[in-house]
Each structure stands twice: as structure tokens, then as C-alpha cells.
A and B are shown apart, each in its own frame.
Chain A
Amino acid sequence: MSIIEGRFEPNIIITSVDALFNWSRSRSLWPITFGLACCAIEMMATAASRFDQDRLGIFPRPTPRQADCMIVSGTVTAKMGERVRRLYLQMPEPKWVIAMGSCANSGGPYWQHGYHVVKGVDQIIPVDVYIPGCPPRPEALLDGFLKLREKIEQCTIAKKTG
């Protein structure tokens, strides 16, 4: 930086592509709007005025084509699991997944028995952040977003060689 520092006029910011991309991606996480069970109520509370996830640049998008991340908030049944995966595949890269609540992490109350529940959404799609709780409080979901931010900030667009 020091070679080019001070060489340009004011109002010009110099950064690396990685830093720019990671900054913009991590500051405008747009989750796709869908909820699966009781955890979805808590997710809606997070979006509402009291916890207000908009102030972090997180606001739900109505279509997977506009979404960067997916909050799997609730019980993933075998019937819904297929749809969840289809939504995930419809999202453009780069994309991230937050598994919210015990059900999405491991099956929750249905972790052992039951004909209908996928025991953890990571059996269907890759998960970046797991949030424990049944249901997790809105603060926990916001914390999950902050953790996801940290993860995104470590990304690089450079391809690994070899």
C-alpha cells in the first residue's frame, strides 16, 4: 500500500478485490424467505422491529435467485427436504446455509425415532453455521449471522493451485 499511498486525489479508496468482495458479501446477506416450523416464528421475530435484522443488511428475499444464504429454521421432513435441496440448488453462488435450531442441526425432538424427519439438514445440503437451541433466541440467530460474517471475511477469490 505504501507505494501508492497519497498518490491519488481524495475520495479514492484503495483496497484488494478480496476485501471488497468479502466486505460487500458479508454486509448484505440476503436470506431466502422460508420457514419450516416453530423456529420460523423466532426467525420472524428477528426480522421484526425489536431485533431488526435489517440494520445488519439482512433482509429476506422472495426468490432463491436473489438470495445469498438460507436459514433452515425448523424441522426438515423427508417431504420438505427435497424442496429445501431444490431451493438450495436454485440459489446462485456464492451461497451459505445457516441451520437454525436442534431440528435442523440433528433432528431435534425427532433425532432418534420417527418416519418423517431428516435427522439434520446437513444430510441434504452443506451447512456453514449451526445454531443450537429449541428454538434459539433471536440474539442467537443474530450471533449466527455474525459468525457467518466472520467466515465470509476469510474467503478469497483466488483459486488454490495444485
Chain B
Amino acid sequence: MEIPSYVNRLKEACGAAIEEVSTPLGDLVVLVKADQIVEALNWLKEDEEALFDHFMDLTAVDYIGREPRFEVVIHLVSIPKSQRIRIKVHLDEDDPVMPTITPVYPAANWFERECWDLYGVHFTGHPNLTRIMLYEGFKGHPLRKDYPIKKTQPLMELRKPEVRRSDEAFEPGKNPNNP
């Protein structure tokens, strides 16, 4: 895939914010610095040739053991121009913080909450950065690779196996609800 011409103008407009442009497997991938992501997205949304008006997806990947550890991935689509772009942002392990992109794409609101919930990536300036999938009181971020694989945090006390076995044993003539 050839790199489209608007990417060069994006580089000129945003300067050092664009760290890398590549086209793995025919997809356009742009690596952007976290602190300038909002400017870059604004440019991509407004530019005549780019016109990325449709926000598709925002998620994160945990490359444990790599520095930087987290990668936030944003997918955009341009409906008038029929083109796609993938934006990546690298974030450090100790401090996975990036600015929220909700001013540019309001649809990213819940995606950022999900990303916070499951990966612990913090989006500064987000209107309501609370858990969206998991419940209040859940500790940790379960899709991080260092979250213990068998750890569960049930909301109530679970019934003991002995108790469970006793309701499996079915005695004819005995009403289990009226012992």
C-alpha cells in the first residue's frame, strides 16, 4: 500500500508528534505521541483529503515485558473518502495516561471507560471515567497480563461444596423447600 499524500501534510502539521508511519498488511498505521493525540485527530477529522469523520474503535494492548508496555489503538474511518487509518499511542507501564479524545469524537466516551476498566489506562479530561463493565469495588484491571488468571472477585459469599452436594441428593418424599 502506498502512503497517502495527506500523511505527509499531517507530518508537517503535527511535526514531532508523528513518530512512525507504516503499512503492515496493507493497513495504514500511524504512531502518535500521547500528548499531541488530540491535535493529530483534529487535523485528520478536518482535513479535506483525510476527512476521518467516523470513530470506530478504541482499545489497548498489553505488551508485557516491552518498554513501553501499553499501546492504545484507535481505528478511524472516512465515510466520504472510503478510507481507514489506525492510530497507535505508546504508554508507559508506571504511568499509562493519555488525554481523552472525547472532544474530537464524543463516541469514544464508553470506549475509554472500557479501556480504563479493563486495562487501567487513564484518560485525562474524560467527563466520567468510571468502570463500565465491572462492578464497583472490583480491584485491579483484569485484561492486564499480570492479573492472576484464576482470580475472581465475587460480590457475595459463595455456597460451600458440601451444601451444594446436599441439594443434589434428592430424597423422594422430601420437599426440598419444606424440610
B-contacting residues of A (Cβ < 8 Å)? 78-79, 81-82, 85, 93-96, 112-118, 120, 122-124, 126-128, 151, 154-157, 159-160
A68 CB to nearest B CB, Å: 10
Q: Is the interface of A mostly helix, strand, loop or mixed?
A: loop
Asked whether, in the complex, the Cβ of B159 is within 8 Å of the Cβ of A78, the reply is no
A117 contacts which chain B residues (CB < 8 A)? 152
A-B contact pairs, 15 of them (CB 8 A): A79-B135, A81-B154, A81-B156, A85-B156, A93-B177, A93-B178, A94-B175, A115-B142, A116-B142, A118-B152, A122-B167, A126-B159, A126-B176, A127-B167, A155-B177
Asked whether, in the complex, the Cβ of A78 is within 8 Å of the Cβ of B154, the reply is yes
Asked whether, in the complex, the Cβ of B153 is within 8 Å of the Cβ of A78, the reply is yes
Asked whether, in the complex, the Cβ of B159 is within 8 Å of the Cβ of A112, the reply is no
Asked whether, in the complex, the Cβ of B153 is within 8 Å of the Cβ of A115, the reply is yes
B172 contacts which chain A residues (CB < 8 A)? 154
With both beta carbons as reference points, the residue of chain A lying nearest to B160 in the complex is identified as A123
Encoded as 1 (CB less than 8 Å from any A CB) or 0, chain B from 164 to 179 comes to: 1001101011111111
Of the candidates A78, A79, A128, A159, the one whose C-beta lies within 8 Å of that of B176 is A128
